[in-house]
Structure 1
Amino acid sequence: MSSICKMDCCHQCDRQKDCGGCTKTDGHPFGGRCVAAECIKQEGIEAFFRLKDSLIAEINSLGIPYLQVNDLELLNGFFVNLEYTLPNGQLVKFLKDNNVYLGNQIEIPKSDRCYGLVADEQYLLVCEYGCEGADPEIVLYKKIG
């Protein structure tokens, strides 16, 4: 199964049958939207690489200890859409389960926690969490641009 971005994420996805595939759904897997497919369809593959590069530069310039990233991968929303507890006790999710985002996971040295990075062309979310996404905490959530 081919994909619009040619990144072969369809072959790596264990929910391919639920999705329908990138090409077949015209970049709307699971009925949502894919940041890569949308960018490529509107402006071409080079624009997508520029988006990735600009997000990497923005993440690396945040000044968060141990947070440096070299690449961003395409990640399914249902996998990275963690539930956060706000100071008032309310539980919230900031992403959409049916979208595909750019992101990565960075291990924090000498810690059992990781940074999780998730972005699209509008928002950047940096969080910290334990094993398998346990006890997630928002480090940064911001509008891009």
Structure 2
Amino acid sequence: MEKLLNLKNTLIDEFNSLGIEGLHLTDLNLLDGSYINLEYTLPNGQKVKLLEDDKMYLGNQIEIDGKERCYGVAADEKYLLVCEYGCNGSDPEIVIYKRR
């Protein structure tokens, strides 16, 4: 349990240090990959999913002030993902996807 709490606190710090306007985390939740694994359209038209359906991630959703969109954040031991999307995950866009 202590290892999970340490990872959670470290990830919160990493997300907050990205400098994304309007993105400030105070908590992360355990989320099922199949629930949060959105399909993104790349500039070349290819559609991809970046997460694994059968994994658990630490993540959260943050409403963006002045927009009808949210930031979605998800992370594991290897990657950070910040995306932006509309209602019910519509029109998702990758903001940042990087190795930790």
Q: Same fold (TM over 0.5)?
A: yes
Bigger Rg, structure 1 or 2: 1
**What's the TM-score, normalizing by structure 1?**
0.68
- Please identify which structure carries the higher helix content: 1
- Please identify which structure carries the higher strand content: 2
Describe the SS at the equivalent of 2:73. strand
Among 2, 7, 19, the residue aligned to 1:63: 19
| Distance in 1 of aligned mates of 2:74 and 2:4 | 15
| Distance in 2 of aligned mates of 1:115 and 1:81 | 14
Q: Which residue of 1 aligns with 2:61?
A: 105
The ranges of structure 1 where at least 4 consecutive aligned residues each deviate by more than 4 angstroms after the TM superposition are none
Deviation digits for residues 4-58 of structure 1 (CA, Å, limit 9, x no counterpart)? xxxxxxxxxxxxxxxxxxxxxxxxxxxxxxxxxxxxxxxxx21211110000000
Deviation digits for residues 62-104 of structure 1 (CA, Å, limit 9, x no counterpart)? 1000000100000011110000000000000011111111000
**Aligned residue pairs, count:** 100
Q: Which residue of 1 aligns with 2:49?
A: 93
**What's the TM-score, normalizing by structure 2?**
0.98
CA RMSD of superposed structures (Å): 0.6
Deviation digits for residues 88-132 of structure 1 (CA, Å, limit 9, x no counterpart)? 000000111111110000000011000000000110100000000
| Distance in 2 of aligned mates of 1:135 and 1:46 | 37
Q: Which residue of 2 aligns with 1:129?
A: 85
- Of structures 1 and 2, the one with the larger relative CO (CA 8 A, separation 6+) is 2
Unaligned residue ranges in structure 2 (runs of 5+):
none
Q: Which residue of 2 aligns with 1:51?
A: 7
- Aligned sequence identity (%): 63
Among 53, 72, 84, the residue aligned to 1:116: 72
User: What is the one-letter code of the residue matched to 2:57?
Assistant: Y
Unaligned residue ranges in structure 1 (runs of 5+):
1-44
